[in-house]
Structure 1
């Protein structure tokens, strides 16, 4: 949805700048010591942590979880200082002492159980709990038992999701609504929510960790990309989410920072019906694709050429990847007709389809394109109606782990198996990866599963997307997080205005 401010921007840039400036100056004391941030999307559920709005609370460092993830995706302490797996379905978490919620109440096992129970009862459930039955109970004032119906080696990772942030009891209403105002544990306390317009946070002086370096955060929602870029260019914002590629050339290079995303554009090839059930023709497509041309032409160089399903947002993937040798010899296409499909909701994908069609035609295929809105094409793609489908796909979901994505897309029973793949070697590799505990063994098993998938030529990874983040010159230590969980932290600071 476009806000009135964003519509003004398209025709009256100066008016927009004035409006943004007045918005940021509202309700501020000592504005020079406050971070002004422009967010891409307004909240959809009143900033409830049980929705996708949870990622805003996380990016503002106001709501915290029991566990956090490091750069490798391994669980690390946050509100829980330690955890133990007592048996296949039961974990014990020890809580950090002397933590206060923003309303002054202490962090206790009772508060944690109440927050996790509210998440399990939410309608709809938080995405991180899809297919998971979870029950929390106290085991003393500072420890919690979490039980799952089925063995879940990823439970600590799951509890790192911003959708399972722990808020004070007062946040949870009897009607299932959650109000995060003054209810978190982070270095910033959410003090004011102005609907889908703005939000304001102040430093929380009784934070359990190091005190925040700025007095507060003033967040404004600006869906229009030109407007967000204007806010950075004119100095009315300190940090800006998701700058459009088209605006980058208008900004000083020092203010623009590219962050690799755990999102891969992949060409899925139908392994069950049509000409591409022949693995040798899938190999021909694999070898015909010029990834560098796609990156340079469509993305203006602001993406990464794919070497596998997992990209630079997971830095360990490249270090563990070994060259994949497909057992299938590449065939020489003889004019076989294939349907190449994608969706128009992401502006780059139809352009990628045009270039890919050209490359495959040059390789000897006859290519017909089918481009529609995602809502109109998803069912046909999942039903296997297309020979080839271009998809922009998140490779790590809320747990920070790629096994769920791989299982969904490439297992026999996968709910998103566009390639219609059912391969015994892939099944065995995915099963081993799913059973492994987080850490080096799981990462090795994940890369073995990636190799098994790529050997089938059911998927041709094309490129890994980046998000472009804007930061004013006076900003120090803003987070550039591929998972988009962190943005402004207690360590983020502002130098004096030049």
Structure 2
């Protein structure tokens, strides 16, 4: 009997057990009469990695809770729209002027000023590590009068407004920034929800901020619990112990009421990064052998139960223009220049990944089988992300399996490519520094937004793929759970928005 016939009954047992364990983990959903007195409970995938520092990936939690805000936000198309800045203009090729919104106060009562906004942006440039959105960008900011900020870059940058939309460039009150470089977001944001309590890696509590400059929140607050285990998150939705659940594993979806599950393509690619600096994959022909060993359809069917899209490149269906541009003859020529695969009988490699996304360990098992069928001898190292990220960035693995958001920061994929594949990239797991790739990235980065930039972006993708430093496997989908008693939750492919001012909670039907 195939193993798949056992999977769902076992999952159902695990789901019941997880539900029992979770009963005491979540705040009990409020079933009040409405009118802004209810609270929304959220089960999130990953706990904070950097104490909720806005300069780290934790900033996306602050954004999804609508407690910290940026000068600019992105609309569904990825275009820049006002937030804490109401308008902006280009003063010269290297300088932009942003006019601040009047009447903005932080949660501690202090007012937003141009001097402070400039100070925060300058702090971000010297943070360690710096926000990914600033990889390869020399940015400085200064106040221009009382209500405007001038942002300058060392070279002309058409994406400055989009860069300032990154949650890692959120503005917090002056008191949030300590002399030792630490940043405390609790009680120091500007959004409709005030972060009132941080329970380390177990959860957080937020209350409505009545002094918010925009539309006031319709719920009284947010109760967050971090639940890395995917079965437990699904159980939280099924049992009603959470109103909103992040990242439901595909294997759990058949066990849930389909009316509670919402799925959209997202700009996130499951990619196998190969170490180009040392070890077996320093040889391009050995990297080619790994590429040829991969059966993407088997990964999608096995680990994701068909709820993902096979990858033809780094960018997936969430960016529909990417597929059409792969028909460019120059794109095909770049890929045709790849070397022939080497014979790899008995070549040992280490494969790393993390447990926080439940599909990755299963994908790694399938990858191990495919690579070993091609002649590699695979040793896996699987840990929680917080305990493996530093080793991955240091190049400790021959191969690393990562679920990577491709437009997370600016709404533009060039920033992600520069971070992951540029010579000075802050997230360069492949340890890649190839002149052709660097030139393509710089050309794309310097091109104005629009069709020309998209074409240059795809040429950069082709240059990366030609090195086999990264093997794109599949494109994930957002699988988000929402209880029947919650409404107005954001379904954001870029994972910036979740609970909004318009989110409401009512009694269970």
Deviation of residue 439 (structure 1)?
3.8
1:418 maps to: 430
Tell me the residue number matched to 1:156. Answer: 161
Matches within 5 A, 1:333-482: 341-346=350-355, 348=359, 351-352=362-363, 355-356=366-367, 365-373=374-382, 391-396=402-407, 398-410=409-421, 416=428, 418=430, 422=434, 424=436, 426-455=437-466, 459-482=470-493
CA deviations 1:375-431 (Å, max 9, x no partner) are 789979987995x7655444345334322443455556767373857364x444322
The residue correspondences of 1:138-157 to structure 2 (distance < 5 A) are 138-157=143-162
Give 1:3's aligned residue: none
Cα shift at 1:58: 0.8
- Answer whether contact 1:284 1:330 (CA < 8 A) is retained: no
- The one of 78, 81, 89 equivalent to 1:84 is 89
SS in 2 for 1:19: coil
In structure 2, do the counterparts of structure 1 residues 162 and 439 end up closer, same or farther at CA, with 3 Å as the change threshold?
Answer: same
Q: Distance in 2 between matches of 1:488 and 1:159?
A: 21
Aligned partners of 2:412 and 2:344: how far apart in 1? 40
Partner of 1:95: 100
User: Could you tell me which residue of structure 2 aligns to residue 233 of structure 1?
Assistant: 238
- Residues 63 and 166 of structure 1 are in contact (CA less than 8 Å); yes or no, is this contact kept in structure 2? yes
SS state at 1:254 partner: helix
1:58 to 63, 72, 82: 63
Compared CA separation, residues 495 and 319, structure 1 to 2 (3 A)? farther
Q: 1:291 & 1:139 partners in 2: Cα distance? A: 52
Q: CA–CA distance in 1 between the matches of 2:366 and 2:448? A: 41
Q: Which runs of 5+ in 2 are unaligned?
A: 1-13
CA deviation after TM superposition for structure 1 residue 65, in Å:
0.3
Distance between the aligned counterparts of 1:398 and 1:27, measured in 2?
Answer: 38
Matches within 5 A, 1:30-429: 33-120=38-125, 122=127, 125-129=130-134, 132-267=137-272, 289-322=294-327, 324-325=331-332, 326-327=335-336, 341-346=350-355, 348=359, 351-352=362-363, 355-356=366-367, 365-373=374-382, 391-396=402-407, 398-410=409-421, 416=428, 418=430, 422=434, 424=436, 426-429=437-440
CA contact (8 A) 1:342 1:350 kept: no
- Aligned residues between the structures: 485
| Residues 167 and 28 (structure 1), Cα distance of their counterparts in 2 relative to 1, 3 Å cut | farther
CA distance in structure 1 between the aligned counterparts of 2:119 and 2:253, rounded to whole angstroms: 45
CA deviation vs aligned residue, 1:103-133 (integer Å, no higher than 9, x gap): 4444331332343344445555445445554
Deviations 1:237-271 (A, max 9, x none): 21012223443333212212234443323345788
Counterpart Cα distance in 2 of 1:392 and 1:93: 34
Asked whether the equivalents of residues 325 and 455 of structure 2 are also in contact (C-alpha less than 8 Å), the reply is: yes
Q: Is the 8 A contact 1:200 1:216 kept in 2?
A: yes
TM-score between both structures, scaled by the size of structure 2: 0.79
In the aligned structure 2, how far is the partner of 1:180 from the partner of 1:361?
Answer: 47
Say if 1:490 and 1:14 are closer, same or farther in 2 by CA, change over 3 A: closer
Asked if structure 1 preserves the Cα contact closer than 8 Å seen for 2:201 and 2:226, the reply is: yes
Could you list the runs of 5+ residues in structure 1 that have no partner in the other structure? 1-8
**In structure 2, C-alpha distance between the alignment counterparts of 1:473 and 1:27, rounded to whole Å:** 15
C-alpha distance in 2 between matches for 1:380 and 1:100: 40
Tell me the alpha carbon deviations over residues 203-237 of structure 1, each in whole angstroms, 9 at most, x when there is no partner: 33443333333333222333343333222112122
CA deviation string 1:70-112 (max 9, x = no partner)? 3343322211122223334322111123333334444331332
- For residues 250 and 335 of structure 1, the distance between their equivalents in structure 2, rounded to whole angstroms, comes to 42
The answer as to whether partners of 2:197 and 2:206 remain within 8 angstroms in 1 is yes
Give the distance between the partners of 1:377 and 1:138, measured in 2 at CA.
Answer: 37
Deviates further, 468-477 or 38-47: 38-47
Distance 1:274 1:227 in 2: 38
Q: Quick one: distance in 2 between partners of 1:65 and 1:43? A: 20
Q: Which residue of 2 aligns with 1:484?
A: 495
Alpha-carbon deviation of 1:295?
A: 0.5
**TM-score in terms of structure 1 length:** 0.80
- 1:194 deviates by 4.4
8 Å CA contact 2:251–2:305 kept in 1: the answer is no
Could you tell which deviates more after superposition, 288-297 or 204-213? 204-213
The 1:337/1:224 distance shift into structure 2, 3 A limit, reads: closer
Partners of 1:38 and 1:241 within 8 A in 2:
yes
Q: 1:352 to 1:181 in 2, by over 3 A?
A: closer
- Do the aligned partners of residues 266 and 72 (structure 1) sit closer, same or farther apart at CA in structure 2, a change above 3 Å counting? same
Question: Which whole-Å CA distance do the structure 2 matches of 1:479 and 1:370 have between them?
Answer: 40
